[in-house]
Structure 1
Amino acid sequence: MASTPKPFAPFEWMIAWRYLRARRAEGGVSVMTWISLIGITLAVFALIATLAVRAGFRAEFVGTILGANAHVTIYNAGEVTQTGQIDRNIANYSDMAARIGAVAGVTRVAPLVRGQVMASLRQDNSGLDVYGIAASDLASLPKVVNPETGRGDIARFDQGIAIGSGVARALNAGIGDRIKLISPNGVRTAFGTSPRINAYEVVYIFNSGSFDIDGSRAYLPLADAQEFFNKEGVATELEVMVQAPEDIATLVPAIVTAAGDRALPWTWQERAGGFMRAISMQDNALFILLAILVLIATMNIISGLIMLVKNKGRDIGVLRTMGLTEGQVLRIFFIVGASIGTMGTLFGLLLGVLFSVNIEGIYQLVDLFMGQARTSLEQQGFIFPTAKLELGDVVAAVALSLGLSFIITIFPARKAARMNPVEALRYE
């Protein structure tokens, strides 16, 4: 008794391959099938490229937050003074910083004095968020102290003030200019508190890549900030950096325990939680929209295979009379459609990877045709992110395209398998 060939036997692949490479005049692959191949290629390319750019934007956004801001900020819950005011200053900030620095996973603890002031230079004014910080702690902020993007001499920080590039543009300030800082909480006198005005030399201008930070932030030496804001001997907060910012939630309990009972933590995830959720929602929406594009491209396989089945009706009838079962005919045409989907997916994957790897060159090419528009847009705070290929995104795009291609192929393949051989050969 003859054994039944196993599914996807070599002769099934051979027949499917003959149909794939047959010319149109021979009743082979139709123009619609070529259109579906190109459509799947472009759809997968668009999906992978978009996901890579979005991943790059997300990494750039998180990097900007983590590079110039604390991973977790420690505040004091405060105590009520004899005058009825709440004192939130941290008096023993050195000891507290030492205890927090001893926690496993913490890489840096910096005492800060923060305050808001009005900055003035000649006829220009701008509001500033001033950070009083030690020079050694400032030097550990990679987005701020960057020789490639910064101007001036950060080694002279103790002799002046460091301002963001946006602040410098607003004040028309350059290295060596002396800007005035005006604080309403100044010198206490018998007649009340009078505004305090001090002038500081601009010794460094930084560009962190964040429009909000560069346009509103300035750094003063810690001792100068304590004097200017009447915070002698105290800090207003502690800036804590950790080795794994993504796992900050697991470190917060240990940090709070080391800081003391009255410590109030505020993590970077809480600070930027709304932005991160918005980015995640946008990513999901883009994936769904581009998945629909992939679906439309794969549905063209149906049209191409239906035309192929119609042209190959006589061949199907001959194959059935030779003893091929419905399952074998179904698998032959399934291989044809699945091969088109697989080739389109692979071509799209290749284009997507090439686009992501060479996105900087593409930016430069577009900038060349647009007349150097990228530089002016970056100065206004717009981000041109690098593309970041993530394995999960690539696998999701490939799996989506292949899955849809295989499912769509089943319907015209079943039609070919159920064709009556007598009807197919009646008029031949």
Structure 2
Amino acid sequence: MASPRPFSRYEFLIAWRYLRARRAEGGVSVMTWISLIGITLGVMALIATLAVRAGFRADFVDTILGANAHSTVYYSPTSFYNELTEETYISPGKVQDYDAVTAKIADIPGVTHAYPAVRGKVMAKQGDAAGLGDVYGITLDALKSMPGIVNPDTSMGDLANFDKGIALGIGLARELGVGVGDKVQLVAPDGAKTAFGTNPRIETYEVTYIFSAGRYDIDQARIFMPFAEAQNYFNRDGVADEIQVYVDDPERIDRWTPQLMAAAGEGAQIWTWRDASGSFLAALDMEDDVMFIILSILVLIASMNITSGLIMLVKNKGRDIGILRTMGLTEGAILRVFFLCGAFTGVLGTIAGVVLGVALSLNVDHIMAGLNALTGGNAWQPEVRGIYQLTADLRAWDIFRAVALSLALSFIVTIFPARRAARMNPVEALRYE
């Protein structure tokens, strides 16, 4: 007669009966319950952590791309020697023929927009309030290319009036105590040159637009000024400081660097959004790997409790093992029965962990809101984290990794006690019965 195939129905029935038995009958021990709860909590923490880290990275990248150019073309400073004074002077790099350079860059396949820009630092004043500002002199079309700036849900004012004044980040506007229609003084140290030196340039502008880019550092310092006015204000007549470039796939911005260098010509340099935030993104990736390893160790510790629970179960079921062996069950069948006992614990704990982890990830914003209410707003500080809220991004790959890790560890640690049960001598098991 042919032997039953592995993992037959009766093996599942025996394993499930052992798990459902009362402890007095040698059934599920306290250690098994501890391992079940431990695996559940470990998988839940792993899924929630991976989702939160993915959400934080996605929000961070979105706020960068929503308020900044994907790549910036600028030129290296040039030096020249003055024979009269016998001194070497360094001239900051400027884009001389910016219209022609911008047109060449815009013709590159994959480049969606390209605009000249003027950059400068100022002190913004309104009454007794003052704050430092980072001025971007750009055109209205360039401003419309930034989705984080032109979002009507987070902005105030009419973007059509941009050429009549300036646009302020909401943090800077709050610090100065101004709103749309108010006047703000901008003070630049590099102003008009006179016989007595360089005087600071002081100009008053109307605030026509207030925006929130979703990043604390941007909202606290960013000022947008019409391009022509910025040229006049920062003494950039006929030149620009840089060319701002937008592409259709910013995640792969480095592939455009050689083409941008060729189009911009000699002396051009490229600075991408990855260059500006690469170290932070690398730190996030490293932190993701470290957190995965740490939480994997927690899942392993919880899985090891399965071994303790199964060893106790095998000891209590020694008589049953002897009877089953005399009835004709092979060592392989006994091994699979007790393997299934441990596997059931791992599978049930993993399923419960996935359910709780997904539920926690989907409600992380409500949880953070409650923590902020309890701690008076100290649970999440945007001036430290950079973004205003914590979100979760559930990815199928992260859930799969957590499930695969939990099941693999649960199955591996189950093999040792299951083999011990399979190798038990039925004569020794029934000797004193």
Equivalent runs, 1:247-326 vs 2, <5 Å: 247-326=252-331
Residue identity matched to 1:39: G
1:343 deviates by 1.3
1:349 deviates by 0.9
Aligned residue for 2:239?
234
Q: Which of 390, 396, 404 is 1:399 aligned to?
A: 404
Is 42-51 or 176-185 further displaced after alignment? Answer: 176-185
- Residue pair 2:365, 2:389 contacting (<8 A) in 1 also: no
Aligned residue for 1:411?
416
- Residue pair 1:43, 1:290 contacting (<8 A) in 2 also: yes
Give the RMSD, CA atoms, in angstroms. 2.0
Aligned residue for 1:346?
351
Residue identity matched to 1:389: L
TM-score, normalization: structure 2?
0.93
Residue identity matched to 2:25: E
Q: Residue 22 in 1 paired to residue 21 in 2? A: yes
1:374 deviates by 7.5
Q: Residue 6 in 1 paired to residue 5 in 2? A: yes
Q: Residue 110 in 1 paired to residue 115 in 2? A: yes
- Residue pair 1:81, 1:87 contacting (<8 A) in 2 also: no
Is 343-352 or 358-367 further displaced after alignment? Answer: 358-367
SS at 1:109 equivalent: strand
Q: Which of 359, 364, 374 is 2:364 aligned to?
A: 359
Equivalent runs, 1:16-415 vs 2, <5 Å: 16-80=15-79, 84-367=89-372, 370=374, 373=377, 377-378=381-382, 383-415=388-420
The number of aligned residues is 426
Residue identity matched to 1:257: A
1:9-54 CA deviation, whole Å, 9 max, x = no partner?
Answer: 2222221122122232332222221221121111101100111001
1:168-204 CA deviation, whole Å, 9 max, x = no partner?
Answer: 2322222222111111211122333222111111112
- Residue pair 2:169, 2:211 contacting (<8 A) in 1 also: yes
Show structure 1 runs of 5+ residues with no match: none
1:279 deviates by 0.9
SS at 2:7 equivalent: coil
Give the direction of change, closer, same or farther, for the CA distance of 1:370–1:418 in structure 2 (3 Å limit). same
1:265 deviates by 0.5
Give the direction of change, closer, same or farther, for the CA distance of 1:208–1:366 in structure 2 (3 Å limit). same
- C-alpha distance in structure 1 between counterparts of 2:349 and 2:21, whole Å: 18
- C-alpha distance in structure 2 between counterparts of 1:153 and 1:347, whole Å: 51
- C-alpha distance in structure 1 between counterparts of 2:427 and 2:380, whole Å: 72
- C-alpha distance in structure 1 between counterparts of 2:422 and 2:69, whole Å: 65
Give the direction of change, closer, same or farther, for the CA distance of 1:334–1:375 in structure 2 (3 Å limit). closer
Is 275-284 or 172-181 further displaced after alignment? Answer: 172-181
Residue identity matched to 1:129: D
Q: Percent identity?
A: 55
- C-alpha distance in structure 1 between counterparts of 2:265 and 2:382, whole Å: 43
SS at 1:85 equivalent: strand
SS at 1:179 equivalent: strand
TM-score, normalization: structure 1?
0.94
- C-alpha distance in structure 1 between counterparts of 2:40 and 2:128, whole Å: 58
